[in-house]
Amino acid sequence: MYRIGQLAKLANVTVDTIRFYEKQQMMEHEIRTEGGFRLYSDSDLQRLKFIRFGRQLGFGLDAIRELLSIRVDPAHHTCEESKAIVQARLHEVNIMIEELQNVQRSLQRLSDACCGTAHSSDCCSILQALEKGTEPRPEALHGQH
């Protein structure tokens, strides 16, 4: 059995994180010492690691709750349910990647448009593009500051 501080250290989270998950009813602390300290089992540690890894993958609390309920009661659930949750998150991540690639291309065009020399920034193409709210025109990529 572990006290909350030990559990936190083993799961690489803070005590406040554990308390937060308890308030979210994702973890319980049914066992206490005579002095009133919460005690946690290996099963609680496994559950906390499950939640933590789910959060690292970007799952929301509701999705993690669903996955936990599937894990806790596998006889009444299918792999199809778990996969649907993962596929939804994967779809979100693919959209984010596409958006980041668009940002990357725009930043590359801004960088390419600037000569990058030590002259005055009065006519800096990056600053001008940001002021206009548009990317530099292709002809501005050659010869302008």
Q: Is residue 116 assigned to a domain? A: yes
Task: For residues 11 and 45, give the distance between their C-alpha atoms in angstroms, rounded to a whole number.
Answer: 7
Task: For residues 73 and 79, give the distance between their C-alpha atoms in angstroms, rounded to a whole number.
Answer: 12
Task: For residues 1 and 26, give the distance between their C-alpha atoms in angstroms, rounded to a whole number.
Answer: 19
Q: Is residue 62 assigned to a domain? A: no
Q: What is the CATH number of the domain that holds 31?
A: 1.10.1660.10
Tell me: do 86 and 36 sit in the same domain.
Answer: no
Q: What is the pLDDT along the chain (145 residues), one digit of tens a residue?
A: 899 999 999 999 999 999 999 999 898 877 787 888 889 999 999 999 999 999 999 999 999 999 999 998 888 999 999 999 999 999 999 999 999 999 999 999 888 888 777 777 777 888 888 888 877 665 545 545 4
- Residue 7 belongs to domain spanning: 1-57
Q: Is residue 93 assigned to a domain? A: yes
Count of domains observed in the chain? 2
